[in-house]
Structure 1
Amino acid sequence: MASKTQTTPETVAKEIVTEFGTFIRIFSDGSVERPSQSPLVPPSLNDPNTGLSSKDIEIPHNPTISSRIYLLKITNPPSKFPILVYFHGGAFIFESAFSKLYHDHLKIFASQANVIVVSIEYRLAPEYPLPTCYHDCWAALKWVSSHSNHTNDTINNAEPWLIEHGDFDKVFIGGDSAGANIAHNIAIQAGIEKLPYDVKILGAILIHPYFHSSNPIGSEPIIEPENNLFHKVWHLVYPNAPFGIDNPRVNPLGEGAPSLEKLGCSRIIVCVAGQDRLRDRGVWYWECVKNSGWNGKLEFFEEKDENHVYHLFKPESECAKILIQRLDNFVQE
């Protein structure tokens, strides 16, 4: 009798089963690679160029949510600063609150806009499919808000920088690309559910927001779903999304979406780039909010000659400096 060949996990070839350029590769054994991921960098105290300090903190949750917090140089007497809870981009599948790309950007923003920034390390798809990231970011914002009661000794893992220097009358949320999508969804949640101690979101910053739907808008080409990159990425990050690409998380006017009138903040700025494939979606979102009956202050900013998240890749460019100045004005109004 011929013996059967025994196959072990070690002898099975590891093959790529899903790949989106160099952004993500998923292998047959379930492992994931992110070749384009920006290198991770440590926080630093008293940055020599800005005087800014940063440190990594743990936000109580199940599981714990990591975050990086940025604080300006403290004067005497100590100052109170607006708070920005920030959600990084990366199509929900890569990048990090600890990456050099975002660390460098948020150092510039925090020092120029005079804000405390709390940058959230939410869990990524596909290991943690959506809506996981939204739950993580909402839990993080609730934890930040819990610091508004300065006499409360029951805050789990309380952060002194927030208690001593945070102005809870000036709480902002923001993000770029997928992070801007998260910021929108968090603003919607804040219109439905109260934050601890009735903290209000003053403003939301949406930079090059990641939205889509089954129907093309503006100059978007008509592409079959199986060939449409945005459709394929959405299916990867949220494979069981009700209504697919028209799920309210990615299509703010999709089936069952809450009215934009209920956005839980007082001010919104939508930023787009003229050469960005998501440009028309940002304009569409701005127009939808404008016509929704929402009674806050809505602003719009476009850099016509730049591409998606140009301010991250070219932070020293004049266009990036103009954007930062506009966001600084938005926060300080």
Structure 2
Amino acid sequence: MPGCRRLLARLIGAAALLAGLVSPPLAAVERLPKLVLAGPAAAVSTPLIHMIESGALQDVAERIEFHTWKDPDQLRVLALGGKADFIAMPTNVAANLYNRGVSLKLLNVSTWGVLWMVSRDKEAKTLADFRGKEIAMPFRADMPDIVFGLLAEKQGLDAKKDFKLRYVGSPLDAMQLLVTRRVDHALLAEPAVSMALRKTKSFPVSIIAPDLYRSTDLQQEWGRLFKRETRIPQAGIAVIGQALADEKLQARVMAAYEQSLLWCQKNMLKCGEMVAKRIDLLTPEAVADSLAVSQTRHVAAAAARPELEFFFGQLYARNPALVGGKLPDDGFYGLGKAP
């Protein structure tokens, strides 16, 4: 019948139209065979370790590894060789590598305040109080040595002439010198500060006179001398190698990093247990102590740009080579928009 044929044609046409409008199911995102995270034995790495231990990225990669770099030379080998996808590093090192042609972006700044002088002298309050004294100093010509130099110069001191700097490989090496009484003063980064105080039973206060004191807070010195907030954009996470091309992966890793940082701040001892399993010389209690006193907050690199550029500007004025000869351009700042 003509009416039935017309109705059937309409139904077939509608079915065809519907088939054209409805897309086939999206294929599941294929997991990476391996994802490599890297960082130092410092506060910036704590969320990375929690991310692995908690399985936060199990949907992203079949295998996730964490590699510890012990000094800036090892860090540069990792970066130049493309041996990691996401690396926790000092912000000035990231700028230096970028300006020297290494393909990377800084994704965030999470370490804003972990540098302290630790001393046997309870009267020492400012860097000037350490004039003429021997100080164990980790990472020559890198963070924290360059921050010490900046702050010394800002108050009319010459870091090379007015102090006896004893350079060592890492904050944990400086801590060992302190606890074995081979030096009386050291510039340390958390959690090495808390570890030194724990090892000498100097935390948080002792019934008897403590052996060591948490002395000058370099962040407070920064705020006092530069008339700024008492925080320094010291370290964050950089993306490198093939992961540079995958912004969705970067966003996923940064979201996990932020959540892990918040979890660690709320569950300090449990987080400390995870970290101590992967980093020798650290104890869960010392990591928990460090989480309680450190200034750590996830800030996208683009949002942190004004503070980064002020910091880099100070380094450039002192020695342009510290940031690779110039301030990094827009391509250095990954994810997000500047305020």
Indicate whether the TM-score tops 0.5: no
Higher relative contact order (CA 8 A, sep 6+): 2
TM-score w.r.t. the length of structure 1 is: 0.30
TM-score w.r.t. the length of structure 2 is: 0.30
Q: Which has the larger radius of gyration?
A: 2
Specify which structure has the higher proportion of helix.
2
